[in-house]
Structure 1
Amino acid sequence: MPNSHPYRGCPDYQFWRKEPAIQEPRAFDPVVSPAFHIAPDDAVVTAGSCFAQHVARYLASNGFNFLVTERLNSAFDPKFAAEFNYGLFPARYGNLYTARQLRQLIERAYGMFGPVCDTWAASDGSVVDPFRPQIQPGGFICAEELALDRAVHLAAVRKAFEKMKVFVFTLGLTETWMDRRDGAVYPLAPGVAGGEFDPEIHVFHNFTVEETVADMQASIDFIRTRNPGVRIILTVSPVPLNATAVDRHVFTSTTYSKAVLRVAAEEICQRNKECDYFPSYEIITSPYARGQYYADDCREVRPEGVEHVMSTFLRHYAETGARTVTRQTKSSTSPTSTVPEAPSVEKLLQVLCDEEAIDNE
């Protein structure tokens, strides 16, 4: 009779060699037991890195109630909505790469933090929002216009966080640039897309697991004081760093960053009820995928990879069960969504990722 041991009788998904994706990559599904489901009328808010834009668009296109609280003023032609980045996220906050960015967005929205520097000058004379440096094509005409836009924006942030039933946040980076004077963090280093870099004022910082957990937990705690019933899904972006400020290879910095974010997400999910980790990072980067989900630049995620991620998400989190993901096309929008039409997944990422602006030339 075989000896008894702790692994005897465990399900197949706990054993590498029994994974169906070894033979059929598309069969890879690492989700085991989601903590909750999302009903069609549950208001869903997304935020985070560039990859979070995929999540937002697919949810909107597949029958979810993708909440949009910041819309283009009705005085303007609706065709400008996409150009000015309305509908990519519930509010026009752009990429929130780090947990500290999320925390400070909340603090700014609720009047708990007023940064020392809240405007950057662009080379063409326009004014840029340091916390959304590429959200307004061509920049703002003046600081007053930016201030008015920001007031509308932060009101939309408050509305989104207070009305949402489900919050999906995609952790993207650990590297950031910070203002020494008050600790304000930016999605881009000053000088890349506005502003002027000053080493006496601006300092690089690479967040640790402990810092990421603290920032994420503070964000969740505050959100739940205003919205106690919100359910949370954390995920990690599979998109590698475009550039690193550390004197080492960008891939080594990428593995550090993703490891920190993955561990932090795990700890947060263990600490909090109705807070799940969804493995989008694992689906794209696993050996089972054999690298087929990355584009020719070995960085951007192909539409097929996004579809695998989102079909897995829908299978486990949609209240109605398994669904077939609607592939994103130029006319693929949801009747309940205000997300504007887009040419392609690849072009969206190319245009709307702040990090893409970083170069060494």
Structure 2
Amino acid sequence: MKYSNRISYSLAAETAKINRESRVGSRGTDANRMEPACWPGLRPSFTFNKESKIFVIGSCFATNIEKYLQSRGYICVSSCENRSNLISTGCLNKYTPASIWEEIAWAREIYDRDDSITLEDVQKCLFQVSDELYIDLHLHAVEPVDLATAFEWRKVVYSIYRDLFTCDVVVITLGLIESWYDERSERYICETPPRQALREKERFFFEQLDYQKCYNFVVSAIELIRKTNSPRIMLTTSPVVLQRTFTSDDVIVANMFSKSVLRAVTGQVVKDLDGIDYFPSYESVMLTRQNSIWKDDMMHVAEPFIAQIMSRVEGIYAPESFSKVSDNFDRIHDFVNAVSARDFSLARSIFTSIGDPGLEVPSDYYTSAAVLYWCDGDRNSAASILAKSNVGELSYTDVLVPLRILIARWAGDKDLVIGVRSWLKVNDGLTFKRLFHAASWLSYNGNKREAAVIAGLVRPQQVRRLSAQRRLVSILQAGGKSDQAKIISEIKFDSVPAVA
């Protein structure tokens, strides 16, 4: 243990005296770190650079961290990109300390044995749904496949996880304590049992993990990671809200309990183990009093705010590699957040204050500015500002990028329409999320016909969630596209939505 919880008065007083962040600054003073956004201090015990091999594991918030790091040129060995087109990044999400430990332990056993995956290794993860089809209970939101495909999936997963044992930096985000245990395999699975597995539902048990179990899983996972290597570790609690609870509590209460347990666990692990830092993404999100930092589902954090969080992490932990893309960095992302939240009055105020955005400005600034001009009916300005942003340089945070199609049509720029469509086609992994988000944004803004146009670009095979299906059907019907609504409504699902 690095230090005891009980110290003398003199030492406590001295610690508080030299701690520049021992008090919360008052409103109206330079010491105010709560407004307009909350930025707790970071206490790095190590640094990394663009030569460091980084592995990110955890909930969907971890995926956002990984995307940010990749967009900034860091080596994320946990990424599915350039590995295989069989598995998308989201499939590797791990929401609980138990599911994180299970995947690491599975890979560690193979790595220590002979570094060669076998059919028996794969079958530990599978549930047989028919004579020929299997579903992997340890991957997020996947469909039943034949055994050969399931084997190939697991080969990809192992090829990724084996790099965990040789990387330089590990980032772990803890998401939930509501877990599911498979009594037959004696393993915790990734998420709610899929519908196909419910014919054997008696083998699955819901468990709300307590503090000690969570702590033990996290410590054990770190020990497995460090068995033959000593990577530095960054630990955080995901701010993403629980979608549904299987307890009798209100989901809001259940979520707060879950996050409180995990925040306590991360704090204790950082105290007990060397070479581990906590970075306060949870505090930044939960204590920032801006509606614009949340997506419309009120569960997920808006990508521009995640970029602001990670830019601070990058600036402290990778000072040699870090360079702000603009002196207006924070105001630009505040502006993007405001447009995303449809707070146009705030957006106009920030946009005016930005003036010249500078060089190397992220594409979501130009998209958001064009959207603002579009809402104001200023066709020429909308077209002009889009022309300043190269379609080939669109950033992962540019969640409203499909609106460029509407604006380009409105402005009569056929080349831009073709360019955005091509970008969406090439970036197929991002396409559904972008189209769904943009269509929902338009629908909430009252642009029903335009929302249906964007929703109509979604291909049926991209819809894998019941909640997404219902939302798309509603948008298409409201916008007068009943034929397309019927096609989407007839989609049959092989798996149920996740709870996180």
Q: Give the deviation of 1:323 after TM superposition.
A: 3.2
What's the counterpart of residue 25 of structure 1?
36
Q: Give the deviation of 1:72 after TM superposition.
A: 5.8
Q: 1:226 to 1:258 in 2, by over 3 A?
A: same
Kindly provide the amino acid, as one letter, of the partner of residue 179 in structure 1: D
Which of structures 1 and 2 has the larger relative contact order (alpha carbons within 8 angstroms, sep 6+)? 1
Q: Give the deviation of 1:271 after TM superposition.
A: 1.3
Kindly provide the amino acid, as one letter, of the partner of residue 184 in structure 1: R
What's the counterpart of residue 77 of structure 1?
none
2:135 pairs, out of 124, 128, 131, with: 128
User: How many angstroms apart in 2 are the aligned matches of 1:323 and 1:289?
Assistant: 27
Q: Give the deviation of 1:188 after TM superposition.
A: 2.1
Q: 1:69 to 1:189 in 2, by over 3 A?
A: closer
What's the counterpart of residue 67 of structure 1?
77
In the alignment, is residue 147 of structure 1 matched against residue 151 of structure 2?
yes
What's the counterpart of residue 395 of structure 2?
332
Other structure's SS at 2:172 match: strand
In the alignment, structure 2 segments of 5+ residues that lack a partner are 1-9, 111-119, 326-360, 365-392, 397-426, 441-461, 468-495
In the alignment, is residue 14 of structure 1 matched against residue 25 of structure 2?
no
In the alignment, is residue 212 of structure 1 matched against residue 214 of structure 2?
yes
1:342 pairs, out of 430, 453, 465, with: 430
Q: 1:117-162 deviations in whole A, cap 9, x for unaligned?
A: 6323569974321111424xx542x12331243134224311x112
Q: Give the deviation of 1:177 after TM superposition.
A: 0.9
Q: 1:66 to 1:266 in 2, by over 3 A?
A: same
Aligned length: 331
Larger Rg: 1 or 2? 2
Q: Any residues of structure 2 matched to 1:145-184 within 5 Å, and which?
A: 145-158=149-162, 160-184=163-187
Other structure's SS at 2:56 match: strand
Identity between Structure 1 and Structure 2 (%): 23
2:92 pairs, out of 91, 94, 100, with: 94
Kindly provide the amino acid, as one letter, of the partner of residue 258 in structure 2: S
User: How many angstroms apart in 1 are the aligned matches of 2:464 and 2:317?
Assistant: 27
2:47 pairs, out of 15, 32, 37, with: 37
Aligned-residue Cα RMSD (Å) equals 3.6
Higher mean displacement: 304-313 or 108-117:
108-117
User: How many angstroms apart in 2 are the aligned matches of 1:352 and 1:275?
Assistant: 39
Q: 1:42 to 1:121 in 2, by over 3 A?
A: same
User: How many angstroms apart in 2 are the aligned matches of 1:359 and 1:340?
Assistant: 21
Other structure's SS at 1:45 match: strand
User: How many angstroms apart in 1 are the aligned matches of 2:82 and 2:466?
Assistant: 25
User: How many angstroms apart in 2 are the aligned matches of 1:184 and 1:355?
Assistant: 27
User: How many angstroms apart in 1 are the aligned matches of 2:434 and 2:256?
Assistant: 23
Q: Give the deviation of 1:197 after TM superposition.
A: 5.4
- 8 Å CA contact 1:34–1:317 kept in 2: the answer is yes
TM-score, scaled relative to structure 2: 0.58
User: How many angstroms apart in 2 are the aligned matches of 1:355 and 1:236?
Assistant: 27
- 8 Å CA contact 1:49–1:97 kept in 2: the answer is yes
What's the counterpart of residue 78 of structure 1?
none
Q: Give the deviation of 1:220 after TM superposition.
A: 0.8
- 8 Å CA contact 2:132–2:147 kept in 1: the answer is no
Q: Give the deviation of 1:173 after TM superposition.
A: 0.6
Other structure's SS at 1:239 match: coil
Q: Give the deviation of 1:96 after TM superposition.
A: 0.8
Q: 1:348 to 1:16 in 2, by over 3 A?
A: farther
Q: Give the deviation of 1:108 after TM superposition.
A: 1.4
Q: Give the deviation of 1:57 after TM superposition.
A: 0.5
Other structure's SS at 1:178 match: strand
User: How many angstroms apart in 2 are the aligned matches of 1:96 and 1:353?
Assistant: 18
Q: Give the deviation of 1:292 after TM superposition.
A: 3.4
Other structure's SS at 1:226 match: coil
Kindly provide the amino acid, as one letter, of the partner of residue 307 in structure 1: A
User: How many angstroms apart in 1 are the aligned matches of 2:218 and 2:44?
Assistant: 20
Q: 1:249 to 1:99 in 2, by over 3 A?
A: same
Q: Give the deviation of 1:341 after TM superposition.
A: 6.7
Q: 1:251 to 1:327 in 2, by over 3 A?
A: farther
User: How many angstroms apart in 1 are the aligned matches of 2:276 and 2:363?
Assistant: 28
Kindly provide the amino acid, as one letter, of the partner of residue 50 in structure 2: P
Higher mean displacement: 260-269 or 117-126:
117-126
Other structure's SS at 1:211 match: helix
- 8 Å CA contact 1:342–1:348 kept in 2: the answer is no
Q: 1:57 to 1:40 in 2, by over 3 A?
A: same
Other structure's SS at 2:192 match: coil
Kindly provide the amino acid, as one letter, of the partner of residue 120 in structure 1: F
Q: Give the deviation of 1:231 after TM superposition.
A: 0.5
User: How many angstroms apart in 1 are the aligned matches of 2:309 and 2:321?
Assistant: 15
Q: Give the deviation of 1:256 after TM superposition.
A: 0.8
Other structure's SS at 1:107 match: helix
- 8 Å CA contact 1:332–1:341 kept in 2: the answer is no
Q: Give the deviation of 1:69 after TM superposition.
A: 6.9
User: How many angstroms apart in 2 are the aligned matches of 1:59 and 1:163?
Assistant: 19
Higher mean displacement: 322-331 or 101-110:
322-331
Q: Give the deviation of 1:181 after TM superposition.
A: 3.3
User: How many angstroms apart in 1 are the aligned matches of 2:131 and 2:36?
Assistant: 49
Kindly provide the amino acid, as one letter, of the partner of residue 184 in structure 2: R
Q: 1:166 to 1:328 in 2, by over 3 A?
A: farther
Q: Any residues of structure 2 matched to 1:312-327 within 5 Å, and which?
A: 312-320=312-320, 323-324=323-324, 327=362
